[in-house]
Structure 1
Amino acid sequence: MDIESLRSFLAFSETGSFTRAAKQINRTQSAFSAQMKKLESEVGAPLFEKEGRNVVLTEAGITLRADAKQILELHDSSLNKIKRYQNKRSLRLGCPEDYNESLLPKIISAIREYEPLCSIQVFSQPSVVLREWLDEGKLDAAIVTRSPNSEEGYWLYSDQGVWIAAENFDLSVDVLPLVLFQADCKYHAAAIDSLTKQGQAHQLLVCCNTASAQRGMVKSGLGIGVMGRVSMGSGVVELADMPPLPSVDIALLTGGKAHPMITASLIERIQSSVLIQPS
């Protein structure tokens, strides 16, 4: 059955008049009558009958009226839901692997609360790559690490570098084995420099490009590492009485072509969702 025919049929059932129903749906009375005849042909039963000078619904018409209301309500409801997806595009969000377990879930939850129908694609890459992708238009926003004195992006969190090891790691070894991030990591250079200045013998055992790889090797007791406190996760402990490490800021960057979902209100919601104050 045609949806518009059902809508016209209900217009009659509410007015009781072909003339008034035709006016409500902006049709001529002859066009309305033809539409109702076609509907009767589709259902295979008369829907109207004469009662004196008036036209009323038959038993079939009364039955159809109840069903037509439900059909139209479901039809209109479905259309309204689908229209919410018109012109919708996924939010492409970059996030270093370091923050996938700590900050990312909070940020995604904040976005979902702001826009329940959002669709988000997450790309885990180092901050330097995420900046390049933002500039190239491959991302809409990115969580990155920045220097504490930088004003880049929107501040989210200040993270302190810490030394980590397996719980029972023996620090009395003559040469400390190190499991670090790649050389472009701020903590990498700080760790080697501080140990060198203290005269502590050390060996750079492994360079990693992900926090999970570093944690996995530190957990197994292969060596000690350095990372931001927010990235520690479980299975490792923070070492005391070690040389101090620098702090970094974590910020949210947005692309040059703003995604319609990224508003000042959403950014404030994301900042609030982190709920971690600077150390």
Structure 2
Amino acid sequence: MDIDSLRSFLAFTETGSFTRAAKQINRTQSAFSAQMKKLEEELSVKLFEKHGRNLILTEAGTSLRVEAEKIVTLHGNTVTKIKRYQDKQPLRLGCPEDYNDNLLPLIIERIYAVEPTCSIQVFSRPSIILREWLDEGKIDAAIVTRSPNSEEGYWLCADKGVWISSPDYDIHNRPSIPLALFQKDCKYHAAAIETLSKKKVPYHLLACCDTSSAQRALVAAGLAVGAIGQISVSGDVTVVDSLPPLPNVDIVLLCGVDKHPLLEKVNLDNIFDT
């Protein structure tokens, strides 16, 4: 009992005539009659009977009509749902670890809202590596800190540089401030050292980290002071206001040469108004 036979059968229930039903489904009357005969043979029941000059449903035919409507509707809904996965391409998205907590969920929420069947692979690497991967075609898009004096990428938000320490860390009365910073390609790494040097604030570089979790762990443990974007501040550290100010940066979304179809659908304006 294939779905095509059930559709043809329902065409008869709608039109009340083999001739009209055959026209509705673009078949000859003889082909339609053969299909209905085969359906009766498969079910071993009579589905139609003569009533004067007209053909009507038997009791079995009436029962089949109810079930056929359910089956055809379920089949159509199933096909529609499954076809949503047709030509599906996972989005390979790069995101520095320090943006994972606050920025990444907002972006994925926007994508998920317009495409519930989306599949996203997230790669947490420093911005410099993500740029290289984007150029090499290893990822489709990347959330990065915008390069100075450039208009690259799709602007997401601005971020303010801040100093962080553990809540009970005493930054004063120290001969030298121990620093835990990102790698040298990070804008806050260079800005922190340059700012402290210009203000003649004694410091020493305790650790150079390539993940925000490593940096935050050292800072939260009271071993060092860090410099990060305000968007990345977590509850286990506190912002230090007594040190010289750090610069602001723009955070952007860079896309590959061939923009991923998912990103064509997503509106990333006012990302923090969610």
Fold match, TM over 0.5?
A: yes
Residue of structure 2 in register with 1:200 after alignment: 201
Contact in 2 for aligned 1:135/1:255 (Cα 8 Å): yes
Matched with 1:130 is: 130
Overall identity of the aligned pairs, in %: 61
Structure 2 residue aligned with 1:76? 76
Alpha-carbon distance, 1:275 to partner:
3.9
Partner of 2:252: 251
Shift of 1:197: 3.6
Distance 1:273 1:200, change over 3 A: closer
Alignment match, 2:238: 237
* Deviation for aligned residue 1:173: 2.3
> What are the superposed Cα offsets for residues 206-233 of structure 1, whole Å, 9 maximum, x if unpaired?
1111111111111111111111111111
Distance 2:59 2:167 in 1: 81
- The 5 Å alignment of 1:101-250 reads 101-171=101-171, 172-250=173-251
Q: CA deviation at 1:270?
A: 0.9
The code of the aligned residue for 1:8 comes to S
Secondary structure of residue in 1 paired with 2:46: coil
Cα deviation, residue 53, structure 1: 2.7
AA partner of residue 116 (structure 1): P
Do structure 1's residue 271 and structure 2's residue 272 form an aligned pair? Answer: no
Q: Which amino acid aligns with 2:272?
A: V
Cα RMSD of the aligned pairs, angstroms, is 1.8
Q: CA deviation at 1:148?
A: 4.9
- 1:67 & 1:34 partners in 2: Cα distance? 21
Deviation at 1:118, TM superposition (A): 2.3
Alignment deviations for residues 36-83 of structure 1 (CA, whole Å, 9 cap, x no partner): 111112212111122233222111111001110111111111112222
Deviations 1:227-268 (CA, angstroms, capped at 9, x unpaired): 1111111111111121222222111111101112223x63xx
Answer whether contact 1:107 1:274 (CA < 8 A) is retained. no
Cα distance between partner residues in 2 of 1:53 and 1:162 = 89
Deviates more, 1:252-261 or 1:59-68: 252-261
Contact 1:148 1:249 in 2 (8 A): no
Distance in 2 of aligned mates of 1:148 and 1:115: 34
2:23 maps to 1:23 = yes
Q: Distance in 1 between matches of 2:61 and 2:273?
A: 61
Paired positions, count: 273
Distance 1:160 1:52 in 2: 86
Q: Does 1:45 align with 2:45?
A: yes
2-side partners of 1:275 and 1:2: how far apart?
Answer: 51
The runs of 5 or more residues in structure 1 that have no matched partner are: none
Q: What are structure 2's unaligned runs of at least 5 residues? A: none
User: How far apart are residue 35 of structure 1 and its match?
Assistant: 0.9
Contact kept, 8 Å, 2:128 with 2:185, in 1: the verdict is no
Instruction: Find the residue that maps to 1:262 and give its secondary structure.
Output: helix
Distance of 1:17 and 1:158 partners within structure 2? 69
Look up the equivalent residue of 1:184 and give its one-letter code. Answer: D
Separation of aligned partners in 2, 1:189 and 1:262: 33
Q: Given that residues 137 and 257 in structure 1 are in contact (C-alpha distance below 8 angstroms), is that contact kept between their aligned partners in structure 2?
A: no
DSSP-derived class of the 1:4 partner: helix
